[in-house]
A and B are shown apart, each in its own frame.
Chain A
Amino acid sequence: MNRRLRAVLARLAQALPVILGVVLVSFLLTRALPGDPAAYFAGDAADAASIEETRVKLGLDRSMPEQFGLYVLQLAQGDLGQSLTTGQPVVEELARRLPASLELTLVALLVSCGIAVPLGVLAATRPGSWVDHACRLLVTAGVSLPTFFTGVALIYVFYYLTGWAPSPLGRLDFIYLEPPSVTGFFLIDAALAGDAETWFAALRQLILPAATLALFTLAPIARMTRAAMLSALSSDYIRTARAAGLTSRKILFGYAFRNALLPVVTTLGMVFSFTLGANVLVEKVFAWPGIGSYAVEALVASDYAAVQGFVLCMALLFVALNLLIDLAYSMIDPRIGFDSK
């Protein structure tokens, strides 16, 4: 146990240089702006005086290392600058919008894992069957689907043609009041408030964007599950288990599936990366008030402080998710903490 604890601590320590790298890259991105960064941060309508003011405020008149130090200092105080369009601190806006993005992403991931993992297992246990073929078709088609296109197509079918879905504008139809904010997740908040009507309304809004995102993430998870199950099922220890007379169920779930889970968990990191990226597109399509659509609006308005804040926020979120995945991995795999050699 002690050994595993050390491995976990080592993994946590590994995250530090990565976070430093992320901060450095995001710093460099703000300094890589073509032309005069101060002019960009001051906005299109700025005159020479306000540009100069911005320059001093951002410390752009100092040396690079100094600027970086200043940047880190500001970050440490939770200061990501001010949004040009709204005049609000970027941190506050991101914090307010983050729950919307998280709710969408997590629901989508839960749905896609719930479908993809059983599908991959089924396909692997019956290679060559119709389940297998359906899985392969879905996997290839799934990774070929541009999320924004899927979203648009789903809106056409379920909103325009059939009218089953509510209008694709935001998290809640305007006739409902937002549930009192506890977690920021409408589904949870509405449930806590005991407001079934709002809960269903929020769910109805959520279904299409979540399905869009889930369709996109389905493919890599199903593909990996199938491959991992196939390789696990063909390994020597499965033969040992069969020769010992263990039941098919025990072999499939107790032996093969638990081993197959390891590569699947590893792939989840990559899937998260794709999901967070696709999230931006889906939020734009469904006018979802998350940090993705915030960034898109900021991009259009050349609101760079907001864009950089968003990039940094996403990266830190992703680092945290990867950390969680690796910690989960070390819970399943006893070999963690040993050199593989």
Chain B
Amino acid sequence: MNTMTEIPTVAEPQAPPAKSKGALDHVIYVLKDNPVTLLAFAMFAVLMAAAVLGPALVPYDPLATNASEALQPPSAAHWFGTDNLGRDVFSRAIVATRLDLLISVAAVALSFVIGSVLGAAAGYWGGWLDVALSRVLDTIMAFPLFVLAMGIVAAMGNTIENIVYATAIINVPFYARLVRAEVNIRREAGFALAAKLAGNTDVRVLAMHIFPNALPPMMVQVSLNLGWAILNAAGLSFIGLGVRPPTAEWGIMVAEGANFIVSGEWWLAIFPGLCLMFAVFTFNLLGDGLRDMVDPRRRT
């Protein structure tokens, strides 16, 4: 074309060849690269299936009592045994998946949205907004979080919605602080300044350039928090808050089963507890997998 386009062809080190085509390829690549992530996704699929299809698949009505079959150990008919009212523990444990996941997903979604908006604004503009937000977050964090959730549910009323709100409130500081920090370090980053020079308004720079770059750590936080939210909700119902009997829920099932553990009827508490563990473990494993997936630097 002209002289100047020829200059660059002089022996410049070549960048690594770009192999990836699209997002799907990348997903496949990450899964192949990391069998643990694959396992996490498989476990997640099992959880989702149990949540969506569970009530339709289980062999017994989770609420149906049967005094003649009370406290049966696990058998072919009752895989996880029966409880003191003769209800099938397996059916109850599977059906509980939906409720437990719903509570935690709703709570985490709420805290994600609130925390992101507040944290991003505080991190980008700073000033009084930042000061006010930190004060509020400091106050929330000044409580042992589970204890605060107890207080909130106790005060606002013993319902499932209030469990969701309480769990959301105690999770907001994590998101808000994370986003605030991530936005803050990128506020003066070259690409943010460059985006401003390219004629973008502050809101657009924040929303389209800075915030998406804060997503990888957010995703990890979401995943870990989902696990934690489940633990939290189950813990609350274990001490008698939120979910009430006879609703099938893991925490309450462990609580009810705990009364029988000293007399040796272990299956009442152990199986729902294992389900709970499985769910939390899945989300914790998923955290690292998600980080790989959303981080474009790993797309090589």
Chain A residues in contact with chain B, CB under 8 A?
Answer: 17-19, 21-22, 24-26, 29-30, 32-34, 140-141, 143-149, 152-153, 155-156, 159-160, 167-168, 272-278, 280-281, 284-285, 295-296, 299-300, 304, 307-308, 310-311, 314-315, 318-319, 322
Contacts and interface: CB of A to CB of B under 8 A. Distances in A.
A22 B139 CA distance: 6
Contact of B235 (A34, A146, A315): A146
Given A21-B139, A156-B266, A146 B241 contact: no
B240 interface: yes
| Centre residue among B146, B234, B257 by max chain A CB count within 10 A | B146
B64 interface: no
A273 B144 contact: yes
Contacts of B145: 273-274, 277
Given A25-B143, A29-B152, A315-B142, A148 B261 contact: no
A276 B146 CA distance: 8
A278 B235 CA distance: 9
A160 B143 contact: no
Contact of A143 (B136, B155, B241, B284): B284
A152 B142 contact: no
3 closest pairs, A vs B, by CB?
A: A277-B146, A21-B139, A149-B273
B240 A296 contact: yes
B270 interface: yes
A296 B139 contact: no
For chain B, the bracket of interface size reads: 35 or more
A18 B139 contact: yes
| Centre residue among B150, B241, B255, B276 by max chain A CB count within 10 A | B150
27 contacts: A18-B139, A21-B139, A22-B142, A22-B143, A25-B139, A25-B140, A32-B155, A33-B155, A33-B156, A140-B284, A144-B277, A146-B238, A146-B276, A147-B235, A148-B235, A149-B254, A160-B266, A167-B262, A168-B262, A272-B144, A274-B145, A275-B144, A277-B145, A280-B147, A296-B240, A299-B239, A314-B143
Nearest to B234: A146
Interface string B89-121: 000000000000000000000000000000000
B131 to A, nearest CB: 11
